[in-house]
Chain A
Amino acid sequence: MWRHFKSLRFKLASLYVVVFGAILTVLGIIILTVSERDLRNEFDFALRDRAEAMADRIVVSPDEWPPSPSPANPIPRLNPFRFPRHYIQIRLADESVAERSPNLGKQILPLSDQARQARTTNQPVFETLRDEIARALIGSDSGELRLLTIYRQAAHTAPFYLQVGVNQGRVNQSVQDLRRLFLLLMPTGLAVVAVASWWLAGRFLGPIRRIAELAGRLGAHNLGLRFDPPQGQDEIAELVVTINQMLDRISEAFQAQERFMADVSHELKTPLSVLLGEAQVMLQKERSTADYERFVRSVQDEVRSLAQTVDSVLTLTHAEAGAPITNAAELALNDVVMEAVERCQPLALQRGVRIVPVLALPRGDRSGPVLLGDPELLCILFVNLIRNAVRYSPVGMAVDVHVRWTDTEAEVSVRDHGPGIPPQYIDRVFERFFRVPQNEGQFKGAGLGLTIARGIARLHAGSVQVANCPDGGCLFTVLLSLRHLSPQPNPQ
């Protein structure tokens, strides 16, 4: 039990970590990328801002200007610009270098094809230089120079290129820092998530673990065990309530079973003690042949009655088990009812009672009501009702057995013209071992006949009702569904 549970907790926690981790990583990468881009844009923006500001204040008058003897060794001229970190260079329209800031030293900022587009498109061009020039200027192996080239054409000046270069190291450093932070936070965050989700999973699975423990302890000896009523209305609470209800039903079933055992014991042991007692008394001294004969007949009667009880109890167990109809077959209801009538005929003859069956007539194409069921059990159902009716019928009277049907339902009614059932007992006739008190002793039934009948009817998705008739006698009505009854799978 524990192992399985543990793996569920583990699964939950690790699933959560994985999902969260994935989301976190993706989000982190997005944020990182966007931040990086923003940083660089910011940098470029500042650079451009400054460059434009500078360009605004530059005036180039080529007429006063002697051409530079050689681009390799230009002589820096007036340098009003005080931007030590910026490498500034001005080229004339013919691309010759006109001015350079001192910090450039001997270096010349190159004008690439891409940079020339500043002139053609009139848009500033950004480039990143990582070559010797960059390294020489910045003084480190990993030096990167961000070079901006703009081409200015204005009324008050000759056109010129202004190239400004800045060490990109700062930005690169920031980006690096961001990335490092990300790499540090991610695993830490994940670790925290892992711990938290493990704890959370444990908390929510806690009730399930308790249920498992309790279920393990539950047994026939402590059926009273129930879970504490849950707080809240979530799925766990529902589960607890449902399980408690199930335990109620199981407990109830156990108790019903115990009551049944007690009843059956009594019903079986009473005739047995009669037999034993009578036999022992018989043996106490010598008796006459007539006495012995009387005793033997009594034994025969008691044993027959016992056999009947045992049979009834077995049938009842079979009929009530909630269990599957193992012998389901398609049956013509008329045939089953007639079989029951025939079985009761000897008793009817003996008691001078007539059984009058009125069977179901064909409807359209169908020759009679057909249902799926156990032939033996259904026959017993009707036998029990008819036999009861015969027993309680006065001599010469009739027991009417009618079969009627519609497309979906069939009704079998058994009516006698006897004394009927006293109103105070009519609700109890289906109880196990119940016999109407004034008739007790008169009839040797076990008192299970009607219980069995009802059980069988229920097993076939039907019902048995009883009512006293206004003009005397009792009417039992059996309703059976003719819709297709599929045999349920065997619970074992």
Chain B
Amino acid sequence: MHILLVEDNLKMVRFIRQGLEEQGYAVDVAMTGEDGEHLAATQPCDLIILDVMLPDQDGIQTCKNLRRRGVKAPILMLTALSTTSDKVQGLDAGADDYLTKPFEFDELVARVRALLRRGQAQEASLLKYGELEMDLLARTLTRAGRKIKLTAKEFALLECFMRNPDRVLTRTVIGERVWDMNFDSDSNVIDVYVGLLRRKIDRESDKRLLHTVKGAGYMLSCRQPDE
């Protein structure tokens, strides 16, 4: 796997290159935005690590230029700025991920891996059950053709149900899958979010899809739980 690193600080270049090469990647280096664009066009590269502060031109601009030239490789941006608007700016310019300095090296490696994996996996992008249809890429949901707006967590929760239709999911399972947490019995997080989800998907239809199974958990089903 070839990684292109566009960074002007010599020491950063040194340790990133060393670290990544030791993880088994081949690393090419460009110290200016222009060089970076040139290398991306002429050398094979599976991932680009791009610093936002470059001597000749803004990293964001470089990112836009790369995309405009048709470079498809995932781009990971490095920056010292960490406000939400800076992140959004980077992502809007065409970057796939964003890491703020100083970063844990492990995190850099993990994200590199994730980005490289993303390019390869072919996931099913549509989930259907009954009247519900979820587009995993666009993050949208429709019920009988009617669009329903969900927050990120509500979407993740419904996705969990949609992948396990007609099956009772305990609170433990839901907590682990959606929040990666083991909730206490005192905590009402899952009940609250299932409730919110119900309000959105079940309210305007006469057919209830999300059911409470007393003493066990919740279930997404076209049938009643006791049928």
A residues neighboring B (CB under 8 Å): 303, 307, 311, 318, 326-327, 332, 334-335, 338, 341-342, 345, 354-362, 367-368, 374-376, 398, 400
Q: How far is the CA of A449 from the CA of B210 in the complex (A)?
A: 41
Query: Which chain B residues in 188-227 approach chain A with CB under 8 Å?
Result: 188-189, 192, 195-196, 199
B153: A residues at CB distance < 8 A:
335, 338
**Which of B83, B84, B151, B192 contacts A359, CB < 8 Å?**
B192
> Across the interface, do A341 and B192 meet the contact criterion of CB distance under 8 Å?
no
B22 interface residue (CB < 8 Å to A): no
Q: B123 in the interface, Cβ–Cβ < 8 Å?
A: no
In the bound complex, what is the Cα–Cα distance between A358 and B190 (angstroms)? 10
Scan residues 29-70 of chain B and give those whose CB is less than 8 A from a CB of chain A.
Answer: none
Chain A residue contacts of B182, Cβ below 8 A: 354
* A367 vs B201: C-alpha distance when bound (angstroms): 13
Among the listed B82, B84, B187, B196, which residue makes an inter-chain contact with A367, where contact means beta carbons less than 8 Å apart?
A: B196
Candidates A303, A332, A335; contact of B102 at CB < 8 Å? A303
Residue pair B181, A361 in contact (C-beta under 8 Å): no
Select from chain B the residue with minimum beta-carbon distance to A379: B84
Within the complex, the shortest CB–CB distance from B98 to chain A, in Å, comes to: 13
Instruction: Evaluate contact between A342 and B179: CB separation under 8 angstroms.
Output: yes
In the assembled complex, B180 has its CB within 8 A of some CB on chain A: yes
Q: Bound complex: CA of A135 vs CA of B1, how far in Å?
A: 129
Do residues A332 and B151 form an inter-chain contact, with CB atoms below 8 A?
yes
| A338 lies within 8 A of B188 (CB) | no
Contact of B179 with A358 in the complex, beta carbons under 8 Å:
no
Of the candidates A307, A311, A326, A335, the one whose C-beta lies within 8 Å of that of B85 is: A326
Q: Which single residue of chain B is at the shortest CB-CB distance from A354?
A: B184
- The distance in angstroms between the C-alpha atoms of A374 and B85, with both chains bound, is 11
Residue among B179, B182, B189 with the most chain A CB within 10 A? Answer: B189
Binding site for A on B (CB under 8 A): 82-85, 102, 151-153, 179-184, 186-189, 192, 195-196, 199
Given known A326-B85, A376-B83, contact A368–B186 (CB-CB < 8 A): no
Interface contact B84-A356, CB-CB below 8 Å: no
- Of chain B, the residue at the smallest CB distance from A332 is B151
Cα distance A356–B185 when bound, in Å? 9
A338-B189, A359-B192, A362-B199 as given contacts; A375 in contact with B84, CB under 8 Å: yes
Other A-B contacts than A341-B181, A376-B83, 12 sampled, CB-CB below 8 A, are A326-B85, A327-B85, A356-B184, A357-B183, A361-B188, A361-B195, A362-B195, A362-B196, A367-B199, A375-B84, A376-B84, A398-B186
Q: How far is the CB of A232 from chain B (nearest CB, A)?
A: 51
In the complex, which residues of chain B have a beta carbon less than 8 angstroms from the beta carbon of A311?
82
* B residues in contact with A357, CB < 8 Å: 183, 187-189
With both chains docked as a complex, state the minimum distance between the C-beta of B52 and any C-beta of chain A, in angstroms: 16
Identify whether the interface residues of A are mostly helix, strand, loop, or mixed: mixed
Which of B180, B186, B187 is A342 in contact with, Cβ under 8 Å? B180
Interface contact A359-B85, CB-CB below 8 Å: no
Which of chain A's residues have a CB closer than 8 A to the CB of B192? 334, 359-361, 368
Q: Closest A residue to B182 by CB, please name it.
A: A354
With CB as the reference atom, state the residue of chain A lying closest to B102.
Answer: A307
The answer, among B151, B184, B186, for a CB contact under 8 Å with A335, is: B151
Q: Which residues of A contact B183 (CB under 8 A)?
A: 356-357
Chain B hits for A307, CB < 8 A: 102
For A335, A359, A374, A375, the residue with the greatest tally of chain B CB atoms inside 10 Å of its CB is A359
Please report the C-alpha to C-alpha distance between residue A338 and residue B189 in the assembled complex, in whole angstroms: 8
User: Nearest Cβ in chain B — how far from A354, in angstroms?
Assistant: 6
Question: What's the least CB distance linking B102 to chain A, in Å?
Answer: 5
B202 to chain A, nearest CB (A): 13
Contacts of A375 in B (CB 8 A): 84
The contact of A338 among B82, B179, B195, by CB within 8 Å, is B179
**Contact: B187 with A358, CB < 8 Å?**
yes
Cα A140 to Cα B151 in complex, Å, equals 110
Q: Specify which chain A residues have a CB less than 8 angstroms from the CB of B179 in the assembled complex.
A: 338, 342
Query: Which residues of B lie under 8 Å from residue A326 when comparing CB positions?
Result: 85
Beyond A335-B151, A342-B181, A345-B181, whether A368 also contacts B187 by CB under 8 A is no
A296 → chain B closest CB, angstroms: 13
B152's closest neighbor in chain A, by CB? A335
Cα of A376 to Cα of B82 in the assembled complex, Å? 10
Instruction: Give min CB distance, A327 to chain B, whole Å.
Output: 5
Docked pose: A162 CA to B180 CA in angstroms: 129
- A-B complex: 9 closest residue pairs judged by Cβ atoms: A356-B184, A359-B192, A307-B102, A376-B84, A356-B187, A358-B188, A357-B189, A356-B186, A357-B187
Q: Is the CB–CB distance between B188 and A359 below 8 Å? A: yes
Residues of chain A within 8 A (CB-CB) of B83 are 318, 327, 376
B85 proximity list for chain A (CB < 8 A): 326-327
Question: Chain A residue with minimal CB distance to B105?
Answer: A300
Q: How far is the CB of B89 from chain A (nearest CB, A)?
A: 12
Tell me, in angstroms, the Cα distance from A430 to B207 when the chains sit together. 52
Q: What is the distance, in angstroms, from B219's C-beta to the closest C-beta of chain A?
A: 21
Q: Return 11 A-B CB contacts under 8 Å, by A number.
A: A318-B83, A332-B151, A335-B152, A338-B179, A338-B189, A342-B180, A342-B181, A356-B184, A358-B188, A359-B192, A362-B199
Bound form: Cα–Cα A345–B153 in Å: 16
